[in-house]
Amino acid sequence: MITFLSILTALGATFGPNPSDPIQLRDPFGIAWGFVYGYQGAPKPEFMSELREQGGSCTKLYLIWNQLEPKKGEFDWSSLDAFLAQLHSPEEALISIFSSSTWATRTKSEMLPPSPANDPADYDRFVRALVKHCGGKVRYFQNDSEPNNPIYWSGTAEEFANETIMFGRAVRETDPKAKVVLGGYDGLFNPGPGFKFPTQDASLRFFRQVLAKASDSFDIFDLRLYADPTTIPARVDYIRKMIQETGKDKPIICTEYNGPGFFDFAENHSYIPLVVQWSTAVASQTDPGKVQGVADLYKDPQSLNIATRMFLLDSDKEADDKLRRLQCRDLVARNIFALSAGVQRTMLWDFWHDTSNREDVMTLMYGKLRLFDREDGRFIPRQPLASAFQLMSKSLQGVRSVRKVESPTLNVFESDCGRRGTVLVAWKRVAATAESNADTPLSLDWKSARVYARDALGKSVPINLDHGTIQLMVGSTPVFVSPTKI
């Protein structure tokens, strides 16, 4: 759930827990469910078994105050209970609560935008009731999401800091074992040279204000990692230093990422007005699904650039295959960059996306990024991205640290997977939206007596092991090099 207003205005180390971290990980790869679960006609299916089958260790679930307490003192826990029944461990779940209500908040809203509570006592009581109802089955709780964006927070930074303080106190006093995750930052900024997101200064200023006032009220910082994956290490380092300026040192996780997205392609920037209309509809609380324009793309798709056709639900095979290849490559690269920068946990966005309305702007942007289809109440893993996620989680099972290996032409990372040994991940330095047909030779020392190589698309890669040295050809698709069969 990337920050749409930020998109609009913008267009124009070591991984692993240390003794002070409140997260004890075995495997860091998670998958967020999606935006709505069991609300306003949305399904509330059993999905955790499929998530575990993919190698996912955790999930994030968005729930809405109005969904759980539609009237003061009258609770509807049906959606939450359907989720709780699926959990094997508190470590599997993060629940993020939108402060949206038709009766309790300053801006009356069934879903968006959230806003401060009219009476803080109502919010405090609600959060305590929520955490108590979970009964210790959920470890991580989060207040709202991407509050630097007015679509997702109709209030000031100071008001959000006040909410964070209330939220943190209510969660901790109700369940001392629970951990508080600060409402996620969309991560759309570039601290290095070159392109700057026009909204980034205001967004960073927003979170500096929140950190200055509420740094004692949360345990974990959630940094979303969309946009250019090569800037992830710099972004993580910047946020870590910003947190440390408060005198604290909090773990960083990422509860949303995916790519390449629709607007990552310059060819799609001309469609920004569609999202402007969507944003206006959300802000005015009218039906954003009625935004005009997407339907026109389906009238003559072959007249469109392939960068646009890729995101249409009924795209031609050439366009669809290209997007699937780019997604699988991006999945691995984005995670490796994140883990090497010290991010403790990642969650792919998203497990399932409602694509019933192909003319919805959000279907255009997210419909092709989902992991699973759903037919007749069953999840069907038709997407190559699902296979790539499963391969990644299997190849890096037990990962404890990720370290960059210097190379002039390739991205090469060494992953310590404990008893499984060292797993290398390597790919050619190309943009996330580009492909390269030319491969580059890679030669490295190798300690194990055996070696296997497979790329992110599932293809076996020829590799030679000779007197402690491996040699292989590496292209734009990341390759896993392992001492055990992949």
Mean pLDDT on 21-47? 84
If one compares 37 and 359, the residue with the highest pLDDT of the two is 37
The C-alpha angle with vertex 385 and arms to 380 and 388, in degrees rounded to 5, equals: 115
Quick one: which of 145, 148, 146 has its CA closest to 156?
148
Give percent of the chain with pLDDT exceeding 90.
80
Average pLDDT score over the chain: 91
If pLDDT is split at 50, 70 and 90, which confidence band does 193 have? confident
Instruction: Report d(CA 473, CA 443) in Å as an integer.
Output: 9
If one compares 62 and 376, the residue with the highest pLDDT of the two is 62
8 Å CB contact between 174 and 27 = no
**pLDDT greater than 60 at residue 18:** no
**pLDDT greater than 50 at residue 15:** no
H or E element, residue 383 = none
Amino acid, res. 429: R
pLDDT of res. 238: 97
Amino acid, res. 45: P
Phi-psi region of 153 (alpha: psi -120 to 50; beta: other; left: phi over 0): beta
| Cα Rg of the chain, angstroms | 22
**pLDDT greater than 70 at residue 19:** no
Instruction: State pTM to two decimals.
Output: 0.93
pLDDT of res. 174: 98
Instruction: Report d(CA 486, CA 481) in Å as an integer.
Output: 9
Contacts 24+ apart (CB under 8 A), 200-205: 200/10, 202/148, 203/6, 203/148, 203/149, 204/242, 205/157
Mean pLDDT on 434-449? 92
For residue range 344-360, what is the model confidence (pLDDT) as tens digits?
999 999 999 999 899 89
Q: Pairing relation of β-strands 140-143 and 179-185?
A: parallel
Read off the tokens for 98: 């939108």
8 Å CB contact between 152 and 3 = yes
Mean pLDDT on 304-315? 95
Sequence-distant (6+) residues with CB within 8 A of 408 are none
Q: Pairing relation of β-strands 346-349 and 29-32?
A: parallel
Q: Pairing relation of β-strands 440-445 and 179-185?
A: unpaired
Mean pLDDT on 218-231? 96
Instruction: Report d(CA 455, CA 477) in Å as an integer.
Output: 6
pLDDT of res. 290: 65
Instruction: Report d(CA 140, CA 2) in Å as an integer.
Output: 21
Sequence-distant (6+) residues with CB within 8 A of 284 are none
Most confident of 19-33, 159-173, 268-282, 378-392: 159-173
First to last CA, the chain: 32
8 Å CB contact between 329 and 385 = no
For residue range 375-406, what is the model confidence (pLDDT) as tens digits?
888 898 778 999 999 999 999 999 999 999 99
pLDDT of res. 289: 67
Instruction: Report d(CA 112, CA 145) in Å as an integer.
Output: 11
Ordered structural domains, the chain, with CATH: 4-395 (3.20.20.80), 401-482 (2.60.40.1180)
**pLDDT greater than 80 at residue 49:** yes
Instruction: Report d(CA 109, CA 134) in Å as an integer.
Output: 25
Contacts 24+ apart (CB under 8 A), 71-79: 71/103, 72/103, 72/104, 72/122, 75/129, 75/133, 77/133, 78/38, 78/44, 79/37, 79/38, 79/39, 79/44
H or E element, residue 141 = strand 140-143
Tokens 């950190």 sit on residue = 211
Give percent of the chain with pLDDT exceeding 70.
93
pLDDT of res. 3: 40
8 Å CB contact between 274 and 294 = yes
If pLDDT is split at 50, 70 and 90, which confidence band does 26 have? low
**pLDDT greater than 90 at residue 195:** no
For residue range 124-159, what is the model confidence (pLDDT) as tens digits?
999 999 999 999 999 999 999 999 998 999 999 999
**pLDDT greater than 80 at residue 287:** no
